[in-house]
Chains A and B, each alone.
Chain A
Amino acid sequence: MAAIAPLSAALLTVVGGAILFSSLGHNSVDAFRAFFVTPVSDLYGIGELSLKMAPILLCALGLAIGFRGNVWNIGAEGQLIVGAICGGGFALALGKIDGLWVIPAILLTGAIGGMAWASIAAVLRTRFNVNEILVTLMLTYIAGLLLSYLVYGPWRSPTGFNWPVSSDLAASARLPRLIPGTRLNLGIVMSIVFTGCAWLFLARSHLSYRMEVVGLAPRAARYAGFDEHKLVWTSLLIGGAAAGLAGAIEVSGTIGKLREVVSPGYGFAAIIVAYIGRLHPVGIFFASILMALFYVGGEQIKVTLGVPSAITGIFQGMLLFSLLMSDVLINYRLRWYHNRPIATKGNTHAVS
């Protein structure tokens, strides 16, 4: 039952995509092949898919844990950027220092950066009752500007021909690649391990149960004696840590340096993924594959058909709206009223 809305949303998105492609004058079948099949028809393509999937999966899992407790952290993008700044900055500071601890330390720094960024929202929410939706969203833009400042200013590479990029990270600071001939790195392994941990956490832990009670029935949580502030903090810190880790993985694994843009909106895509996956780790795992496919497909189709890669954003939007629509239509029935004065009389008895 839980899968009906996400599946019908995916189906609707495909239909919408077909209409879109044919209205642009392309053969829908060709376009779909270029979008969904060609990118993953070889090992390299699958590597690229996994590369995009890792940060989306990490962010979505972190967010879903919060969403289940009605903590609306929608700023994973910002936490990812700060994670990239911290992890990348630490790696740059280390320079060529080598050691087994280097990479774990970089990733940890990234996660701490993401947590620090999310904790601003936590302080404001728990101390001053400021809505975390607004705070996390606005902090995303601040994070983006902070990164711009760093790569245009103090951290700009002296050998970068004035491009807004940092120096390259030393080899010792790069995540090891998994499969020769692909860019696939350890990040995907970590994100899958994290999926398992999130599943265990959500299914079995008392902490997650308490967070859920706070979200579903705050008065019952107070009755039980659960500390709402502590649980809001936990939600935001987990979300921030996951997104920060994703940022550090992007810098240390995929990109290898800091640049003005480190994420093509993974943190925002993760919100959609969390919901398509019904806030469940298994669902999120599959939804993140779909979302990653939108990203690689968008790039592929730019090359083969000359369609702007903004198509990725359109697909994301169609998916989200299809999901919302499916949810509404599954839970409610549309009724058409014709000349029925009763309908406007408006006694809205919310009958239980």
Chain B
Amino acid sequence: MELAMPARLELFGICKAYPAVVANDDISLSIDAGSIHAILGENGAGKSTLMKIIYGVVASDSGTISWNGEVVKITTPAEARELGIGMVFQHFSLFPALTVLDNLVLSLGANKSRQLIAETALEFANQYGLKIELDRQVYSLSVGEQQRVEILRCLMQNPKLLIMDEPTSVLTIESIRELFVLLRSLAADGCSIVYVSHKLHEVCELCDTATVLRRGRVVASVDPRTETSASLAKHMIGDLVVSVRTASPSTSWDERFGVHNLHRSAAGDFSITLININLNIRGGEILGIAGVAGNGQAELLEALSGEWIAPKSDIITIDSIPVGLAGPASRRTLGLAYIPEERLGHGAVPLMTLAKNALLTGEKSKFINNGLIRFGVVEKFTWSCIEKFGVKSGTPTTEAQSLSGGNLQKFIVGRELLHEPNVIIAAQPTWGLDVGAAIAIRSALLEKRGSGVAILLISEDLDELFEICDSITVISAGRLSPIRPVNETSTEEIGYWMAGHLPQSGEIEPRPTHHDV
């Protein structure tokens, strides 16, 4: 370092090996005060481990950390916070049964009154444009809203170095803009930001240095402002990125999945009432539903998957067969596959092996004989899923919770697709995934589309929606916007609708002209 001031944080030769894998192999990097430093890498590249070492959650096997020029030993998150390191985790660490304020008080309230914390929280929330209701219970918040609480909690500790692990995965375009403004202003005040992300264009836009990890090693240190998404991606995955191409428009398939006049009253104070939902998806078509988290997606997904039973049978149809009164297993028998947003606990049982998780949705297949499980068949299926979908470090006996998010998602997608569905419902299928995994999953969906499967894609990632969907609609406050073919709309229009400006039904809406998303 030739700078007069020592770097805020420097790592020298950090190594960390787990029994099965070397997560960090001789990692050195330096982060200056006030810089926004990106850590890039595929799932399993060792980013999370490195962050946990900095934050004192995991102890490194060797290597040193220096903080403002002094060598420090960080053995607990509390010590990290004492130094001024804050972290927003990818997996949230909030108590679901408590309110937002309770959660804040629990982490920050040792010497402060509840009232003071509430005031400070609102102050911060206003200052940074984070919309937060302090009295709501965390379980009732959407993933996006929970993340806002996490960010707020971190900011309230006035960190000198803020680690953001995949912070924008669930934010809307507008919130991302606001977050960037916030991060830049924090950086301008001298707070360093470590920005862990898979979203390359964000890194290019926001960060001033980037360290790229691959298989636990530093493979490149670059200035992302002079790089393109493609060149960064090349560093990350080592070979050329193949972009997903939108296949040709679908041909003459019939309607395979239909929703007709679906109404669903809100179950509690914080759930959304669904109002007059109508959709139909033909075979070979991908319909995208865009929307800000917490606008009825969860309620809609429950109704579509059968976790919530409709009052009438013909409200939901699969290949023209009314299934509104059928549960998830019966709908699956008719060819429905569902990839839920939450991987651990919803799409997979965390404590069970991959083989047993393969069995989760395989009731109709050859897995069961006279009520007994045919473990040989299940294991073969699991292997083929692991191999076909590139689930790294997975075997049939691996526990689901020990896989990284991306690999578990590949497994879940693979499991659902291998059952040869007619209709696929995918909720945020590439949430938090690296480029390679996201492309693999989108390609798999497109391939199914090519073979005449009807696909419903619920996502908050507009790039993704515009990349693979044939038509797009927006869900806002429990209502759907008109459905538009993807080439007859724009991110501006969809963004405008996502912000809550749905056109009244029946009205021919003028294209918005005067906004700036």
Give the interface of A toward B (CB within 8 A). Answer: 204-207, 209, 212-213, 216-217, 219-220, 222-227, 342-352
Contacts and interface: CB of A to CB of B under 8 A. Distances in A.
Nearest to B305: A223
Interface string B46-75: 000000100001000000000000000000
Interface of B: 52, 57, 76-79, 81-82, 89, 91, 93, 106-110, 305-307, 327-332, 338, 340, 342, 345-352, 356, 359-361, 363, 367-368, 371-373, 375
Contacts of B329: 224-226
Contacts of B345: 217, 219-220
Contacts of A350: 93
B307 A223 contact: yes
A202 to B, nearest CB: 11
Contact of B78 (A204, A212, A222, A345): A345
B124 to A, nearest CB: 17
B373 A220 contact: no
Contacts, number: 100
Given A205-B371, A205-B372, A347-B107, A223 B352 contact: no
B373 A346 contact: no
B384 to A, nearest CB: 20
A351 B367 CA distance: 36
A338 B363 CA distance: 55
Given A204-B373, A209-B359, A350-B93, A225 B77 contact: no
Contacts of B348: 217, 220
B328 A347 contact: no
A225 B363 CA distance: 10
B78 A225 contact: no
Contacts of B375: 204
A342 B350 contact: no
Contacts of A344: 110
A345 B76 CA distance: 12
Contacts of A204: 372-373, 375
29 contacts: A205-B371, A205-B372, A205-B373, A206-B368, A206-B372, A206-B373, A209-B359, A213-B352, A217-B349, A217-B350, A219-B345, A219-B346, A223-B340, A223-B347, A223-B360, A224-B360, A224-B361, A225-B306, A342-B78, A343-B78, A345-B78, A346-B107, A347-B78, A347-B106, A349-B77, A351-B57, A351-B77, A351-B93, A352-B93
A225 B323 CA distance: 14
B92 to A, nearest CB: 9
Contacts of A220: 345-349, 360
A349 B327 CA distance: 37
Contacts of B93: 349-352
A279 B372 CA distance: 20
B338 A223 contact: yes
Contacts of A345: 78, 110
A213 B359 CA distance: 11
Contacts of B372: 204-206
Q: For A205, A226, A351, which residue has the most chain B Cβ atoms within 10 angstroms? A: A351
Given A223-B340, A225-B328, A342-B76, A348 B352 contact: no
